[in-house]
Amino acid sequence: MYEFILFDLDGTLINSEKGISLSLLYAFDKYNISYTGDLKKFIGPSFINSFPSFLGTDEQMTDNLIKAYRENYAKSGVFQTTLYRGIKDLLVCLKQSGKKIALATTKPRHFAEIILKSKRIYNCFDFVAGSELDGSITEKDEVLRHIFSNVSLPLSKSVLIGDTIYDCDGAKKVGLDCIGVTYGFGTKDELISHGAKQTANSVKELKKILLE
């Protein structure tokens, strides 16, 4: 039974597609970037890698786009999110059962904390970690290592809950189990192929896995 539950944020605790998409479009428009693909592919990986990979940007343009994205996201995007149904109840039940809970997101920690507080679930978390605006932490495995360097709990009794292959890959790099959720931005086949131990199709199903 897992005693330390780590949660991804976007696509796992919250549906953040609207705020992220509008902020991406703002950044692309500001720098005349033409992109007609699926914006969902930018939810999960860090922009420092996804912009060059999906858009072919160089280092300077990648930096420009990230700054423009954050400019719009800070004004409005950070508030354009909704909790998935049942998440608050799940977190409360985990706490009541004695579990330790952490947030492990590649979204900047500054924005993540604003979201958790606005949704009134910040106090459910024993530790909150995300990427840092100075670039010192960017990837999922770096976020996870940061958590375990500050929290004295064994990997063997810990699990990451996430919705994309980037969560699975990050967990694998640090030797951590991962449970994939398919109500977010990833598919069951993707999650399983990247090492998820099992998947949950709903928050209700996830609650059963973690508590029963």
Q: CA 38, CA 86: separation in Å to the nearest integer?
A: 28
Contact present, 146 and 86 (Cβ < 8 Å): no
Phi, psi of 136 (to 5 degrees): -70, -25
Is 8 part of the annotated catalytic residue set? yes
For residue 112, CA distances in Å to 81, 102, 128, 151, 210 come to 11, 12, 8, 19, 23
Choose, from 8, 141, 163, 177, the residue flagged as catalytic: 8
- The bridge status of strand 4-7 relative to strand 158-162 is parallel
The count of residues in the chain is 212
Query: Of all helices (H) and strands (E), which one includes residue 104?
Result: strand 100-108
Q: Which residues are catalytic?
A: 8
